[in-house]
């Protein structure tokens, strides 16, 4: 275990005060198998001054410091609610009170290390943001795992075609903003969306089937992770109906097309230099751009 707290000097000033966030958060998905914990402490110190005497003293701040390596990239967590959400991805039954007790009595380093080792077959969604040039995880997408008959059927089918490294099936609840109706109306109201997601993982590739339960359509996407970003290896396929209503012969034909792509090796042929903030694009624009990256920057290695 490393000397705790020695790797966070770039995030805090000489008094231990956080330097602050820059820009806006961006979303990405991480393979747990590529995450390693290097440093972790439960609480940090901050230099303060007594209100009466003005003498300096160090106060304990009940916020963690966690340093993770994702391949060659360094990621930090310095907020305990973010750390709780990370752990809840692996163990949804841990409530906040239990989580705080864990921080008091157990090694945070070992807690995080054990979860990362035990759940290497998962992927997690995170939002990262810059702070003094470093990358901070500022939010973690929490999900509820589910069991679904159709998902089990698809997993068995895919496993009969290729060697699968891992699978995950979960429910996701998200919110979007919906503008009020009526002329001149500018207010917005949150609208909840529920989706049921199946991911089948082989190496650094993810076959994702997302059933938008509240929207009435299903998306099929195939991702490859490369140097910290995702490229879509096929154009997003959208069915204007929920997964259970898609005819089997049509569904599995599309899955077969994706499996044909998965079974080849690809290499990057040039450097990706273009970038547009995710927040400024619709989902369709983002999917199209990711596929454009794959088409223009990668080529098939084997026949």
Assess contact for 262 and 207: CB atoms under 8 A.
Answer: yes
Per mean pLDDT, which of 110-114, 222-226, 280-284, 299-303 is the most reliable?
110-114
Q: 215-226, pLDDT tens digit by residue?
A: 889 999 999 887
Q: What percent of the chain has pLDDT over 90?
A: 34
- The per-residue b/e assignment along 96-119, b for 16 or more CB within 10 angstroms, e otherwise, is eeebeebbeeebbbebbbebbeeb
pTM value > 0.85: no
CA angle 265, 209, 291 (to 5 degrees): 50
User: Cα separation of 195 and 147, whole Å?
Assistant: 13
**DSSP code of 65?**
E
- What pLDDT does 278 receive? 67
Lowest-confidence range among 45-49, 88-92, 116-120, 127-131? 45-49
Distance in angstroms between the alpha carbons of the first and the last residue of the chain? 45
191-210: pLDDT as tens digits: 566 889 999 999 989 999 99
Q: Are 209 and 227 in contact (CB under 8 A)?
A: no
Assigned token pair, 173: 């609840």
Mean pLDDT computed over every residue of the chain = 82
pLDDT at 173 over 80: no
């Amino acid at each position: 275990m490393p000397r705790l707290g020695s790797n966070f000097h770039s995030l805090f000033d000489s008094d231990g005060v956080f330097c602050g966030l820059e820009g806006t958060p961006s979303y990405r998905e991480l393979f747990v198998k590529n995450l390693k914990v290097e440093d972790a402490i439960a609480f940090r110190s901050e230099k303060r001054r007594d209100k009466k005497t003005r003498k300096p003293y160090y106060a304990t701040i009940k916020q963690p410091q966690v340093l993770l390596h994702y391949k060659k990239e360094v990621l930090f967590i310095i907020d305990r609610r973010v750390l709780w959400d990370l752990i809840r991805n692996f163990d949804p039954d841990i409530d906040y009170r239990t989580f705080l007790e864990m921080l008091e009595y157990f090694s945070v380093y070992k807690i995080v290390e054990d979860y990362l080792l035990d759940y290497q077959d998962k992927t997690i969604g995170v939002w990262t943001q810059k702070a003094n040039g470093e990358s901070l995880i500022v939010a973690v997408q929490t999900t509820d795992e589910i069991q679904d008959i159709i998902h089990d059927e698809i997993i068995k089918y895919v496993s009969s075609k290729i060697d699968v490294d891992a699978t995950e099936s979960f429910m996701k609840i998200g919110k979007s903003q919906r503008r009020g109706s009526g002329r001149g109306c500018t207010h917005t109201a949150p609208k909840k969306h529920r989706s049921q997601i199946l991911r089948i993982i082989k190496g650094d590739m993810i076959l994702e089937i997302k059933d938008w339960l509240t929207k009435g359509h299903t998306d099929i996407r195939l991702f490859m992770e490369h140097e910290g970003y995702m490229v879509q290896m096929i154009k997003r396929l959208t069915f204007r109906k929920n997964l259970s209503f898609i005819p089997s012969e049509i569904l599995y034909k599309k899955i077969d097309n994706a499996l044909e792509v998965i079974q080849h090796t690809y290499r990057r042929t040039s450097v990706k230099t273009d970038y547009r903030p995710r927040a400024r694009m619709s989902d369709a624009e983002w999917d199209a751009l990711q596929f454009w990256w794959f088409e223009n920057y990668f080529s098939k290695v084997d026949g």
